[in-house]
Amino acid sequence: MNSAYELTTLMAALRDLHREAAPKAALATLTRTRGSTFRRPGTRMLVLGDGQVVCELSGGCPQRDIVARALEVIDSGEPRLVGYNADSGLDVLMEMGCGGELEVLIEPLRAIHDTDFIDALSRCLDERRPLHMATLFAADGKTVLPRRLVWHASGVAYDAIDDTALVHAIMSQAPDVASRRARILSFAAAHGTAEVLVEAIAPPHALVVIGSSAAARALLPLASALGWHTTLVDDDPVRLRAAHLPAGLHTVCATPQRLIDAVALDAHSSVVVMTHNLEQDIAYLGALRNAPVAYIGALGSRERVARMRSSPALDGLHVHAPAGLDIGSETPEEIALAVAAEIMAVVNHRHGGHLRDNDGAIHPS
């Protein structure tokens, strides 16, 4: 699946395409993977009519072949399902040394309504709603022009499948949003067996940084580069107006007592406390006791963290402290990298160890 940054970039490009009277582009989507592959199912790349791409899939041999086939799809207007494996004669992954197999759906975008689903998808994510998207791309083994369904906990946001029984079946078998996975499901439909790619999509991660320390200033642009929605909190308005802060940064002036009312937090957000004032850190952390966040972290030496943990105000509160993975970081930039990496590991339910410990697979199927 695409990262938060890629998804935002892709939606912006599709929105621009939607404004064109006669768009010429193709959307390439990984539908199936097996073994070690460069990306997971649900990852998309937009190929424009002039050969330019938005959100590269790999940058290597497979991408060049996918782009070439996408240009053919743009010309023909017919969707294609392309397999890359040892039996297809297109064994580019083997040539690259990956050893995996994959299947790519390439669909033409030649009419204004081909991108209608983007408005619903964008609206849900702007409202920070976890959602599902289903793409019907084959019937009885034949590739068809994709039709999509977008829905969230409150109901259907977009439906181009237009088959009540099939829509109900898809929604009832969708993977849990927390899994953030995509899978192919097969359903008996009015016109034969339908193959549907069903994806669980979470809102972009939101990071709240409390304190205007050097490490905080280093973490903010890194988080933004990852596509996270970033907010800087401080109780001093002067520090929030500092010239060295990133342009366009969302800032909030709030004391620990006002924190929960001043900042919107949800299950797809993290908070890192880095004021370098022990009592203030404890006060801000205490204010997060019932916050529905994915991660709470605090900077500090082991001695400082021990004093923090002994505070009755934090009794029973799970805090990642010292925040960050152990990569030997010392500078503010290195500390920021360690903290961002730990947040990613927690959000993705990983332990943050070596890739080589994962049975040799970078992205196991």
Per-residue burial over 78-92, b if 16 or more Cβ lie within 10 Å, else e, is ebbbbebbeeeebeb
Query: How far is it, in rounded angstroms, from Cα 101 to Cα 94?
Result: 9
CATH assignment of 206-347, among 3.30.450.20, 3.40.390.10, 3.40.50.720, 3.30.70.1890: 3.40.50.720
Q: Bridge partners of 132?
A: 151, 200
First to last CA, the chain: 13
Helix (H) / strand (E) containing 146:
strand 142-152
Query: How far is it, in rounded angstroms, from Cα 25 to Cα 191?
Result: 28
* pLDDT for position 98: 56
The closest of 145, 114, 120 to 132, measured between CA atoms, is: 120
Residue 199, token pair as written in the block: 């994806």
- Paired sense of beta strands 101-109 and 206-210, if any: unpaired
The closest of 320, 316, 276 to 294, measured between CA atoms, is: 320
Q: Bridge partners of 44?
A: 29
160 neighbors 148 (Cβ within 8 angstroms): yes
285 neighbors 223 (Cβ within 8 angstroms): no
Measured at the CA of 166, the angle between CA 164 and CA 171, to 5 degrees, comes to: 95
* pLDDT for position 298: 95
Q: Bridge partners of 139?
A: 142, 194
Query: How far is it, in rounded angstroms, from Cα 10 to Cα 134?
Result: 17
The closest of 131, 132, 84, 133 to 106, measured between CA atoms, is: 84
* pLDDT for position 333: 95
The closest of 288, 278, 335, 340 to 310, measured between CA atoms, is: 278
Query: How far is it, in rounded angstroms, from Cα 255 to Cα 258?
Result: 5
pTM of the model: 0.85
52 neighbors 12 (Cβ within 8 angstroms): no
- Full DSSP string of 71-82: HHHHHH---EEE
Q: Where are the domain boundaries for CATH 3.40.50.720 in the chain?
A: 206-347
Cα 335 from chain centroid (whole Å): 23
Question: Could you list the pLDDT tens digit for every one of the 365 residues in the chain?
Answer: 777 788 889 999 998 888 887 789 999 999 988 877 778 899 999 999 999 999 988 755 688 899 999 999 999 999 999 998 766 555 444 444 556 788 999 999 988 888 889 999 999 999 999 999 999 999 998 999 999 999 999 999 999 998 999 999 999 998 776 666 789 999 988 778 999 999 999 999 999 999 988 899 999 999 999 989 999 999 999 999 887 888 889 999 999 999 999 999 999 999 999 998 999 999 999 999 999 999 999 998 888 889 998 999 999 999 999 999 999 999 999 999 999 999 999 998 888 888 765 554 555 54
- Give CA separation, 94 vs 28, 297, 301, in Å: 21, 42, 47
The closest of 153, 149, 152 to 167, measured between CA atoms, is: 149
